[in-house]
Chains A and B, each alone.
Chain A
Amino acid sequence: MGEDFNTDSMLDMFLYESEQLLETLENTVLEKKDEECFDEQSINEIFRVMHTIKGSSGIMMYENITKVSHKLEDVFYYLRESHPENVPHLELVDHVLEVSDFVTGELEKIKSGDTPDGDESKLVDEIDKFLTKIKTGISQKGDELPPENTYVEPSQFYIAPTESESSKYYKVSIYWRDDTQMCNIRAYTAVYALKEVAEDLQYIPDDIISNEESSDVILEDGFHMLIQCQCSKDDIISAIGETSGMDRVEVNDCSRQEFELGFHEHDEQPIIIELEDKDKEPEKKPVKKEPTPGDYVIKNKEAGKSKKLAKNQPKQQPKQTYISVNVEKLDSLMDMIGELVISEATVLQNPDLKVPGLELSNFQKSASQLSKITTELQDVIMSMRMMPLTNTFQKMNRIVFDVSRKLGKDIELEVIGENTEVDKNIIEHISDPLMHLVRNSVDHGIESKEDRLAAGKNPKGKITLEAKNEGGKVYIIVRDDGKGLNKQALYDKAKKNGLIGNRAMSEFTEKEIYQFITFAGFSTKEQVTEYSGRGVGMDVVVKNIQAVGGNLEIDSVEGGGSEMTMKIPLTLAIINGIVMQVGNSTFVIETNDIKEFVRVSKDMLVKEPDGEEYIMLREECYPFIRLNRRYHLDESKAEIEDGIVVVLEHENKNVCVFIDQLIAEQEIVVKPIPPYIKKVQGLSGCTQLGDGSIALILDIAGLIAGEEKK
């Protein structure tokens, strides 16, 4: 017993738990990546995750994971306890993501039964260096290097040269011309220039680095600084003078009191947090604060920072609790419920009840109650397979972050409707195409910063990821405000690559031209990058989307951005179908594929000498398939006037199918044909009808393909 220690279940637990933790970690990090630094909550979160992973990987004896997570834990321990300033945030984010990638990679190895042998030393070294860097960053500022695991007093954001009695005080206002871009950056250049000469310096708006909108404020109200220095007005003007695009600079004397008051009177932004912070601002000397254990409120932030944090503080959503259930169990539950519904029908419509004169009012009451419950039960089981898109969308966050950084683009990702629920199977199938679309948007869609500035756009690109439910379908939209698609370029390229023959551009609609990018072997990007541009992407994307019964629509405004819309069904498990009969067999065709039903007279049937038949319908000629002949079904109708012709449309191809009769339209649960039976062309699955009998689901694409082959 003792020797037979079950590591398998422990391993499963470890893998599952670690994966979950890493997911949380990544989400937390990406959520905060645009901030100036991590807030207390996320620092604690990351610390906790690393601590747990360290512990559990230690138990499982995966040393490299333990070492890496331990190192990162150290960093966050330090951050948590010492609140250092000037932590290079992006670098830190990088480190966290690197660790997350490393651990994920090792977990992958463990999962596939390999030994996790990734070399952690490089990563550990890097993080070590980083840790030393942020620690010494503090010590340079005169603070003591905090020993591990001790509380350290907070440090100041910027420390100006020492004060002296002979200091002069000035108020400096800078105004830029109306058409100037990125005033905040220009203002910062001025601040930077003045820092050289100033002993102390305050400015408003004070969030010029973190808040791009401050640029507009500066344009309107100008940029104001209070400066304490030894130099003259001219010195100040000459120091600022290097900044371009400036309209005028005003330098006025002011008193020490005014300086210490700061921008109190001038402050036009009625934000209370900021005002409160401002009160403390005049005493710019290091304030000794005794941090108390558990006191995780962020200290000594710039006013702008705390304002931003307050604004971006995520609303604490009530955590949903989940358990993971084997999909097989869900499937068998679904089968059982299907069976229950059928049993219910056999009980409620039992021939024994049909005795004339039987009083059944109580029975009927109970029966209707039963029906209600079973219907609800069916709805519940269907909803159990549905999952929100949240996780899928969060992964995109990471992709946008990684790719945009590598390409040197500044891109913001907006996510809308991430709680939209979709069948689990579908989620698995759209994850890759979605990733591709997002990458494309980052890589091809959004222009470089310079191009954006030249086009008069916000230098920060924006990608919107939206999901919504509409008419039984889920729309997933990837929208960017990049350069859009160039119709002429698309057309030329398609023609050059021989994808469209010799047709003139005017023969295509706008949307058709956009669809060119989904053709195999098409890529408008001349240069192949690491992420996209090989031209194999979009056709695969489209194939994947089609595999789950969806389609991709492309819309674009040249210079204004593109919009890719994936339309996918809510679930694969249920389709709306028309049940029909041919001979003794029952077939189902998806309602969406059916264009119309017609009764056809003999004279509409065209017969070729080789036996091939066509139907002339409203001056158009359609290929004609007799299902009974195609599948050799006996006892079916031979005369065309006795049966019904169904006109089907699939990918702009039409075909007429001859059947005996229609039975009903209903929602059907799609089940695979048991793999034991070899694949029959034209059949995509089977389903159980209300009476327990089985119907075969016709696959139009296969049917057409089979016909073309002949």
Chain B
Amino acid sequence: MSEELDLMNDELNEIDDSQKGMFMTFQIADECYGIAITFVQEIVGIQSITAVPEIEDYIKGLINIRGKIIPVIDVRVRLKQAPREYTDRTCIIVIDVKSTTVGLIVDEIAGVITVNEKEIILPPSLSQSNSGNSKYVFGLARVENEVKLLLDPEKLIRDEDVDALEDNAPAGEIAEA
């Protein structure tokens, strides 16, 4: 497992300007999701998470990555799926969205795919009302007969939390001081 991770991280490091159209894909339940690789900082194995009381259920708490303390989100819970026990396949994808660093807990890393921009299909509007997932999905991509749901990381971590975030801004400053 850790070798796989190392490989994956190496791959991440090698990616440079040609990142366009590359997506890190991962498995949640039966679906395969993708997230633009430009957001991804690194992938770490699941580790002990410090719970923080009185916060949203999908924020699992805090982890410590080389002295940096970052919050982690359980993508399963965020996508309104039934939670499940973490296994040794469970990974944390550390993403950086507009200088907010967040870890995403996913069931399993699938790999990196390249999607031609033209091949991205917008999600059918019909699904928007009945599926809770779709508001985070900005497009669909078919790769090797499999459909990947491409996630908008900004919506994934913010969306309805915008208010909470704004409330939090001064608090953050105080804490930093």
A and B associate in one complex: yes
> Chain A interface (Cβ within 8 Å of chain B)?
334-336, 338-339, 425, 429, 547-548, 572, 584-586, 630-633, 671-681, 683-686, 688, 692-696
B167 within 8 A of partner (CB): yes
Whole-angstrom distance between the alpha carbons of A695 and B172 in the complex? 17
B55 interface neighbour in A335, A672, A680, A694, Cβ under 8 Å: A680
Whole-angstrom distance between the alpha carbons of A630 and B176 in the complex? 25
Whole-angstrom distance between the alpha carbons of A666 and B168 in the complex? 29
**For this complex, into which size category does the number of interface residues on chain B fall?**
20 to 34
Whole-angstrom distance between the alpha carbons of A695 and B171 in the complex? 18
- Interface pair A675/B169, CB less than 8 Å apart: yes
Whole-angstrom distance between the alpha carbons of A584 and B62 in the complex? 14
- In the assembled complex, the CB of B27 is this many whole angstroms from the nearest CB of chain A, namely 25
- Interface pair B52/A547, CB less than 8 Å apart: no
Task: Say yes or no: A679-B168 contact (C-beta < 8 A), given A631-B53, A694-B62, A694-B64.
Answer: yes
Task: Say yes or no: A680-B67 contact (C-beta < 8 A), given A674-B62, A693-B48.
Answer: no
Whole-angstrom distance between the alpha carbons of A429 and B176 in the complex? 13
Whole-angstrom distance between the alpha carbons of A674 and B52 in the complex? 11
B110 within 8 A of partner (CB): no
Whole-angstrom distance between the alpha carbons of A633 and B50 in the complex? 12
> Chain B interface (Cβ within 8 Å of chain A)?
48, 50-56, 59, 62-64, 66-71, 100-102, 157, 161, 164-165, 167-169, 171-172, 174-177
A672 interface neighbour in B53, B63, B67, B176, Cβ under 8 Å: B176
Chain A residues, CB < 8 A from B71: 674, 676-677
- In the assembled complex, the CB of A84 is this many whole angstroms from the nearest CB of chain B, namely 51
Nearest residue, chain A, Cβ from B70: A674
- Interface pair A572/B177, CB less than 8 Å apart: yes
Chain B residues, CB < 8 A from A678: 55-56, 161, 164-165, 167-168, 171
Whole-angstrom distance between the alpha carbons of A334 and B66 in the complex? 11
A-B contact pairs, 13 of them (CB 8 A): A335-B68, A336-B67, A631-B53, A632-B53, A671-B69, A673-B62, A675-B100, A678-B165, A679-B167, A680-B53, A683-B52, A693-B64, A695-B50
Whole-angstrom distance between the alpha carbons of A63 and B34 in the complex? 56
- Interface pair A677/B52, CB less than 8 Å apart: yes
Chain A residues, CB < 8 A from B54: 631-632, 680-681
Task: Say yes or no: A680-B52 contact (C-beta < 8 A), given A673-B62, A688-B67.
Answer: yes
Chain A residues, CB < 8 A from B55: 677-678, 680
- Interface pair A696/B52, CB less than 8 Å apart: yes
Chain A residues, CB < 8 A from B100: 674-676
Chain A residues, CB < 8 A from B51: 584-585, 633
Whole-angstrom distance between the alpha carbons of A429 and B177 in the complex? 9
- Interface pair B101/A674, CB less than 8 Å apart: yes
- In the assembled complex, the CB of B117 is this many whole angstroms from the nearest CB of chain A, namely 30
Chain A residues, CB < 8 A from B67: 334-336, 338-339, 688
With A673-B69, A678-B167, A679-B168 given, name 6 new contacts (CB 8 A). A339-B66, A429-B177, A586-B50, A672-B175, A673-B52, A674-B172
Whole-angstrom distance between the alpha carbons of A425 and B176 in the complex? 9
Task: Say yes or no: A675-B50 contact (C-beta < 8 A), given A338-B67, A572-B177, A688-B69.
Answer: no
Nearest residue, chain A, Cβ from B47: A692
Whole-angstrom distance between the alpha carbons of A676 and B61 in the complex? 11
Task: Say yes or no: A686-B69 contact (C-beta < 8 A), given A429-B177, A584-B51, A696-B50.
Answer: yes
Chain B residues, CB < 8 A from A425: 177
Whole-angstrom distance between the alpha carbons of A427 and B11 in the complex? 45
- Interface pair B157/A694, CB less than 8 Å apart: no
Nearest residue, chain B, Cβ from A685: B175
Chain B residues, CB < 8 A from A547: 174, 177
Whole-angstrom distance between the alpha carbons of A632 and B53 in the complex? 7
Chain A residues, CB < 8 A from B157: 676
Whole-angstrom distance between the alpha carbons of A654 and B139 in the complex? 56
DSSP class of B's interface residues: helix, strand, loop or mixed?
mixed
Nearest residue, chain A, Cβ from B176: A672
Chain B residues, CB < 8 A from A334: 67
A694 interface neighbour in B69, B169, B177, Cβ under 8 Å: B69
- Interface pair B101/A585, CB less than 8 Å apart: no
- Interface pair A675/B165, CB less than 8 Å apart: yes
Nearest residue, chain B, Cβ from A342: B67
Chain B residues, CB < 8 A from A674: 62, 69-71, 100-101, 172
- In the assembled complex, the CB of B95 is this many whole angstroms from the nearest CB of chain A, namely 12
Whole-angstrom distance between the alpha carbons of A632 and B177 in the complex? 29
Task: Say yes or no: A677-B59 contact (C-beta < 8 A), given A339-B66, A672-B176, A692-B64.
Answer: yes
- Interface pair A675/B64, CB less than 8 Å apart: no
- In the assembled complex, the CB of A701 is this many whole angstroms from the nearest CB of chain B, namely 12
Nearest residue, chain A, Cβ from B62: A694
Nearest residue, chain A, Cβ from B73: A676
Chain A residues, CB < 8 A from B66: 335-336, 339
Which of B66, B164, B167 has the most chain A CB within a 10 Å cutoff? B66
Nearest residue, chain B, Cβ from A680: B54
Whole-angstrom distance between the alpha carbons of A334 and B69 in the complex? 13
Task: Say yes or no: A673-B50 contact (C-beta < 8 A), given A335-B67, A694-B69.
Answer: no
Chain A residues, CB < 8 A from B64: 688, 692-694
Nearest residue, chain A, Cβ from B67: A335
Chain A residues, CB < 8 A from B63: 694
Chain A residues, CB < 8 A from B164: 678
Nearest residue, chain A, Cβ from B157: A676
Nearest residue, chain B, Cβ from A679: B171
Which of B48, B56, B67, B68 has the most chain A CB within a 10 Å cutoff? B67
Chain B residues, CB < 8 A from A630: 53
Whole-angstrom distance between the alpha carbons of A274 and B69 in the complex? 68
Nearest residue, chain A, Cβ from B61: A694
- In the assembled complex, the CB of B49 is this many whole angstroms from the nearest CB of chain A, namely 9
Which of A336, A586, A678, A684 has the most chain B CB within a 10 Å cutoff? A678
Chain B residues, CB < 8 A from A696: 50, 52
Nearest residue, chain B, Cβ from A582: B53
- In the assembled complex, the CB of B63 is this many whole angstroms from the nearest CB of chain A, namely 7
- In the assembled complex, the CB of A598 is this many whole angstroms from the nearest CB of chain B, namely 24
Whole-angstrom distance between the alpha carbons of A686 and B70 in the complex? 11
- In the assembled complex, the CB of B156 is this many whole angstroms from the nearest CB of chain A, namely 12
- In the assembled complex, the CB of B121 is this many whole angstroms from the nearest CB of chain A, namely 31
Whole-angstrom distance between the alpha carbons of A547 and B165 in the complex? 22
Whole-angstrom distance between the alpha carbons of A586 and B164 in the complex? 25
Whole-angstrom distance between the alpha carbons of A586 and B53 in the complex? 12
Whole-angstrom distance between the alpha carbons of A600 and B44 in the complex? 44
- Interface pair A675/B168, CB less than 8 Å apart: yes
Chain A residues, CB < 8 A from B175: 672-673, 675, 684-685
Which of A339, A585, A676, A681 has the most chain B CB within a 10 Å cutoff? A676
Whole-angstrom distance between the alpha carbons of A694 and B51 in the complex? 9
Nearest residue, chain A, Cβ from B97: A676
Whole-angstrom distance between the alpha carbons of A119 and B174 in the complex? 39
Whole-angstrom distance between the alpha carbons of A695 and B48 in the complex? 12
Whole-angstrom distance between the alpha carbons of A547 and B175 in the complex? 10
Chain A residues, CB < 8 A from B102: 676
Whole-angstrom distance between the alpha carbons of A695 and B62 in the complex? 9
- In the assembled complex, the CB of A685 is this many whole angstroms from the nearest CB of chain B, namely 5
